[in-house]
Amino acid sequence: MKKNLKLGLFGFGCVGQGLYHVLHETRGVKATIQKICVKTPGKPRPIQEDLFTYNKQDILGDPEIDVVVELIDDANAAFEIVKAALQQGKAVVTANKRMLAEHLEEIYQLQQTYQRPVLYEGSVCGSIPIIRNLEEYYDNDLINSVEGIFNGSTNYILTKVFEERQSYGDALKKAQELGFAESDPSLDVRAYDPAFKLTILIAHAFGVFIAPERLIRFGIDKISATDLRYAKDHQLSIKLVARAFKEGDKIYGLVAPQFVNEHHPLSSVRNEYNAVSVEGAFAEKQLFVGKGAGSYPTGSAVLSDVSALTYDYRYEYKKRHQENRLVFSNEATVEVVVSFTKPGQVTVADFAVFTGGFQAAGQQSLSGAVHLEKIREWSSQEGISVILAPGVSLRPLVAAKKEDLTYA
């Protein structure tokens, strides 16, 4: 039997307003927003003023409110809200991927302690229902890999750069104007955002909780003119790809730009769209595509979680309870093309397997297989661009031999 839920909403920005509108346009969900907590008094807002409060206790301390919906930017404040809501016996819906990635194991424990659910479908890839699919459809399947385009802002930017020949700066500005980019664009372009999302998916796909800083990431902010020229000369595009895969009892993960050709399934994923590819031992590979940024796509994902709560749904973290426990590792290699400006900044000695190089427009490029930790080292250095090689599997290589590499 469905419940009539009373919601307390924290935050009324892009996603909060999206939730408000889709809730009022959807007749099938029995839920009402009782109060909205915001931090800026006097700011013009498009709905009646009596719904708003500036005191979080008006929601957390209200026994009539069943569900706290947390949609603010501040990850630390968001975690305190989630923790307090659970302690007050309230269910929680959130879309704060940074807060979840940094505190997911603790949130898992809090759910067990207070026996109240936390749902967060809207935190990963907007409108794509990937977490619930991992929880339900793939509950008994052995997942080999999860990979894809997890950030709509960077995909929008790269689409405009390659298809419309816009500059990186102009494309970023337009993404911000459209509400695709985060309030701090570095979270997108430096690949923090997809790393947070991958951290969450690793927990549901493989049952492993990791700190997001353990994931090696390389953003799109260092893509050079040489990289763009190389891509266009070889009929390639560049996508920011997040991936995690299982090899034996180890889980490996990485977020980095990758050259893809026109036949790659991710090459046709354009603008703010996201894509998630899941490969199972029995279901094999399936691709999910949907809008990953914007007010309504994320708002609809949040509403989906609210709807699920009317049926007492909760995540069971089924992979967490399987007998074969996996561990996370960065002990792997991956094929890359590295471009750099200063002579000697990157050398052949940096490669586990070196395959070649070229020079153009004042930049040098070297290619081959490198250790994942070398990518982490390069990510902190100016003037170095790393892009995963074209024509290869998205999986990092556990061991590399020159005859196995598929590019020059």
Question: pLDDT tens digit string along 280-313?
Answer: 988 889 999 999 878 899 999 999 999 999 999 9
pLDDT exceeds 80 at position 184: no
Confidence of residue 394 (pLDDT cuts 50, 70, 90): very low
Mean pLDDT for 80-101 is: 98
pLDDT exceeds 90 at position 388: yes
According to the model, what pLDDT value does residue 392 have? 60
Quick check: is 285 catalytic? no
Q: Where are the domains of the chain?
A: 5-119
Q: What percent of the chain has pLDDT over 90?
A: 76
CATH match for 5-119 among 3.90.1150.10, 2.40.30.170, 3.40.50.720, 1.10.3720.10: 3.40.50.720
According to the model, what pLDDT value does residue 177 have? 83
pLDDT exceeds 70 at position 96: yes
According to the model, what pLDDT value does residue 139 have? 80
Question: pLDDT tens digit string along 139-183?
Answer: 877 899 999 999 999 999 999 999 898 988 899 888 888 877 766
Q: Which of 56, 197, 246, 319 is catalytic?
A: 197
According to the model, what pLDDT value does residue 348 have? 97
According to the model, what pLDDT value does residue 372 have? 94
Mean pLDDT for 64-69 is: 97
Confidence of residue 205 (pLDDT cuts 50, 70, 90): very high
According to the model, what pLDDT value does residue 1 have? 35
- Of 31-45, 112-126, 321-335, where does mean pLDDT reach its minimum? 321-335
What's the per-residue H, E or C state across the chain?
A: CCCCEEEEEECCCHHHHHHHHHHHHCCCCCEEEEEEECCCCCCCCCCCHHHEECCCHHHHCCCCCCEEEECCCCHHHHHHHHHHHHHCCCEEEECCHHHHHHHHHHHHHHHHHHCCCEECHHHCCCCCCHHHHHHHCCCCCCEEEEEEECCHHHHHHHHHHHHCCCCHHHHHHHHHHCCCCCCCCHHHHCCHHHHHHHHHHHHHHHCCCCCHHHCEECCCCCCCHHHHHHHHHCCEEEEEEEEEEEECCEEEEEEEEEEEECCCCCCCCCCCEEEEEEEECCCEEEEEEEECCCHHHHHHHHHHHHHHHCCCCCCCCHHHHCCCCCEECCCCEEEEEEEECCCCCCCHHHCCEEEEEEEECCEEEEEEEEEHHHHHHHHCCCCEEEEECCCCCCCCECCCCHHHCCCC
According to the model, what pLDDT value does residue 405 have? 58
pTM comes to 0.94
pLDDT exceeds 50 at position 116: yes
Question: pLDDT tens digit string along 313-361?
Answer: 999 999 988 767 899 999 999 999 999 999 999 999 999 999 999 887 7
